[in-house]
Amino acid sequence: MGATHLPATEFDGTGVDDQLEAQAEAVLGDPDVPMVQLLRPDGTLGTDPVFSAYAERLDAGKLRGFYADMAKIRRFDVEATALQRQGQLALWVPLTGQEAAQIGSGRASQPQDYIFPTYREHGVALTRDVDLAELLRQFRGVSNGGWNPKDTNFHLYTLVLAAQTPHAVGYAMGIQRDQKRAAAAGPDAARQPKAAVMVYFGDGASSEGDVHESMVFASSFNAPVVFFCQNNHWAISVPTAVQTRIPLSNRAKGYGFPGIRVDGNDVIAVHAVTEWALERAREGKSPVLIEAFTYRVGAHTTADDPTKYRGSDEEAQWRAKDPLERLEKYLRAEGLADDAFFDQVKADGDDLAAYVRRTIHDLGSPDIRTAFANTYAEAHPLVAEELAWFEEYSAGFEPDAGQGADAGQHDTDGAVRR
3-state secondary structure of 17: helix
Least trusted range by pLDDT, from 17-21, 33-37, 340-344: 17-21
pLDDT (0 to 100) of residue 11 = 41
* Mean pLDDT (whole number) for 8-21: 45
Burial of 223 (0-12, 13-18, 19+ CB in 10 A): buried
Spatial neighbors of 48 by CB under 8 A, at least 6 apart, are 36, 37, 38, 55, 269, 272
Cα 152 to Cα 165: distance, rounded to the nearest angstrom: 19
Cα 249 to Cα 189: distance, rounded to the nearest angstrom: 36
414: left (phi over 0), alpha (psi -120 to 50) or beta: left
Contact (CB, 8 A) for 103 and 97 = no
DSSP per-residue string spanning 361-379? HHT----THHHHHTSSSS-
* Mean pLDDT (whole number) for 265-284: 98
Distances (CA, A) of 344 to 64, 294, 328: 12, 27, 14
What's the pLDDT tens digit per position in 330-379?
999 999 999 999 999 999 999 999 999 999 999 888 788 888 888 898 99
What's the pLDDT tens digit per position in 101-121?
999 999 999 999 999 999 999
Cα 321 to Cα 315: distance, rounded to the nearest angstrom: 10
Least trusted range by pLDDT, from 24-38, 116-130, 152-166: 24-38
DSSP per-residue string spanning 155-221? PPP--STTTHHHHHHHHHHHHHHHHHHHHHH-HHHHTSPP--EEEEEETTGGGSHHHHHHHHHHHHT
192: left (phi over 0), alpha (psi -120 to 50) or beta: beta
Burial of 188 (0-12, 13-18, 19+ CB in 10 A): exposed
φ/ψ of residue 362, rounded to 5: -85, -10
Task: For the chain, give the mean pLDDT.
Answer: 89
Contact (CB, 8 A) for 297 and 315 = yes
* Mean pLDDT (whole number) for 143-153: 92
Q: Tell me: pLDDT of 279 over 90.
A: yes
Least trusted range by pLDDT, from 288-297, 315-324, 388-397: 388-397
Contact (CB, 8 A) for 301 and 93 = yes
pLDDT (0 to 100) of residue 17 = 44
Distances (CA, A) of 180 to 114, 173, 191, 283: 18, 11, 12, 12
3-state secondary structure of 320: coil
Tell me the residue type at 351: D
Q: How far apart are the first and last CA of the chain?
A: 81
- Going by C-alpha positions, the residue among 127, 67, 81, 135 that lies closest to residue 327 is 67
* Mean pLDDT (whole number) for 225-244: 95
Comparison of pLDDT for 27 and 198, the residue scoring more: 198
pLDDT (0 to 100) of residue 190 = 61
pLDDT (0 to 100) of residue 386 = 95
Tell me the residue type at 291: E
pLDDT (0 to 100) of residue 401 = 55
Contact (CB, 8 A) for 217 and 223 = yes
Q: Tell me: pLDDT of 10 over 70.
A: no
Q: Tell me: pLDDT of 6 over 50.
A: no
Cα 77 to Cα 88: distance, rounded to the nearest angstrom: 14
3-state secondary structure of 107: helix
Spatial neighbors of 255 by CB under 8 A, at least 6 apart, are 215, 216, 218, 219, 287, 289
What's the pLDDT tens digit per position in 302-320?
999 999 999 999 999 999 9
3-state secondary structure of 261: strand
